[in-house]
Amino acid sequence: AIESAKAETTKPSIIIVKTQIGYGCPGKQGKSSAHGEPLGEDNLKATKENLNWPGVEPFFVPDEVRTHMEEIVKKGQAYEEEWNALYEDYKKTYPELAKEWEAWNSKELPMDFLNSEEFWTFEEKPVATRICSGEVLNRLAKVIPNLMGGSADLAPSTKTLMNGKGDFGAENYRGANMHFGVREHAMAAIGNGMALHGGIIPYVSTFFVFSDYMKHSMRLSALMGLPVIYVLTHDSIGVGEDGPTHEPIEHLAALRSIPNFTVFRPADAKETAAGWYAALTRKNSPTALVLTRQNLPYYKETGKDALKGGYILVDSEKETPDAILMASGSEVELIYEASRKLKAEGIDVRVVSMPSTDIFEEQSEEYKAAVLPKEVRARLAVEAASSFGWHKYVGLDGDVLTIDTFGASGPASVLFEEFGFTVDNVVNKV
């Protein structure tokens, strides 16, 4: 069967091996207890006798097994030596390609470009962060040739197509765009495999609410320390008419709770660039870029400070603000505008953009205290998602403006107003 599978080069092969649980154990064979319980000393002894195992002492390994394993190790060493010799010849014959191969596998990045004005500059107009992300992705595709990925049949919506890079498939192994189909779990698992192989920087994409379909693969990305980039769009009730089945509520909290997993929800184009920057430079953890369907403003005040996860977007005139407003993503607009209205009413507030609580928590205690000074107890967190996790930052005297119910169907602007996400409501809460 294995030889037949190897000989088939035009399509996948599957080898089905029919097994019996607990095979060989008289007291457990064919029973679920073989899986859920230890065999026990008596069953272990009976199994060894039943299988004619030469020796009943624990962890006994027959000489013929040791010899067989030693031969396998020697074969592996020989294969490695053969491959190394082949690669040395390759480097001499194709020095430029070998240099590129080594660059891909060393995880080198074009840091000069990532720190350049070209990377951080955008047109000053309202635009959805999913569209900003698509623009950033195509900038990166020109300088990172081993960037490779795609979406679960949603590339036009999630803006994850790299222009001019071709489609990967049996007819074109040079293609960098992958079309996974409506297979979110398989897509994320493939992303993990690409990261484990090395040499490739993988990204996968779908609507944020569909991250539920691939949560286990995402968790394994974090568990294995794999730098898979998840591009997750249509991130809130801003989805609008598709209604509560397509409107994420608990999803931000769920992903933020995964150890070694970075969530980045940008407020504008420059913060979106910061999200991609963070995702590319975090070598031992996955990153989710959580992006909007709807247009968001362009802020002159945003920029590289977003790489700290949370930062002061607009500060108070007083050394100690009367209150602190914090938000991520689309809700930054609300606290930004509310701060102006509050100032006109004599309330001097600080506006904090918090695109990534995960990255913010990695900063020094001094930095975090400078952004969120303990003496300022009047705090408000605003996010069109579950309140879970925000109370850590607002404290007992603070408040949250969040959504702890399912969404609804309707125009996005109507939904935001109905759920209380208005400038006036922010002002009233302060």
Q: Name residues whose C-beta falls within 8 Å of residue 408's C-beta, 6 or more positions apart in sequence.
A: 237, 243, 244, 247, 415, 418
Dihedral (C-alpha) 318, 297, 358, 423: value to the nearest 10 degrees?
Answer: 60
E strand or H helix at 273: helix 269-281
Phi-psi region of 420 (alpha: psi -120 to 50; beta: other; left: phi over 0): left
**Residues 143/145/150/155 CA torsion (nearest 10 deg):** 40
Strand, helix or coil for residue 387: coil
Residues 25 and 50 sit within 8 Å (Cβ to Cβ)? yes
CA angle 140–145–151, rounded 5-degree value: 70
Interacting residues of 134 by C-beta distance below 8 A, sequence separation 6+: 159, 160, 161
Candidate list 57, 88, 171, 184, residue with the active-site label = 184
| Spatial CA neighbour of 295 closest among 268, 270, 276 | 268
The candidate with the shortest Cα–Cα distance to 175, out of 206, 140, 200, 139, is 200
- Residue whose C-alpha is closest to residue 159's, from 233, 237, 263: 233
Phi and psi torsions of 101, nearest 5°? -55, -50
Q: What is the DSSP string of 84-144?
A: HHHHHHHHHH-HHHHHHHHHHHTT---HHHHTSHHHH---SS-EEHHHHHHHHHHHHHTT-
Assess whether 417 carries a catalytic annotation.
no
If you count them, how many residues does the chain have? 430
Q: Catalytic positions, please?
A: 184
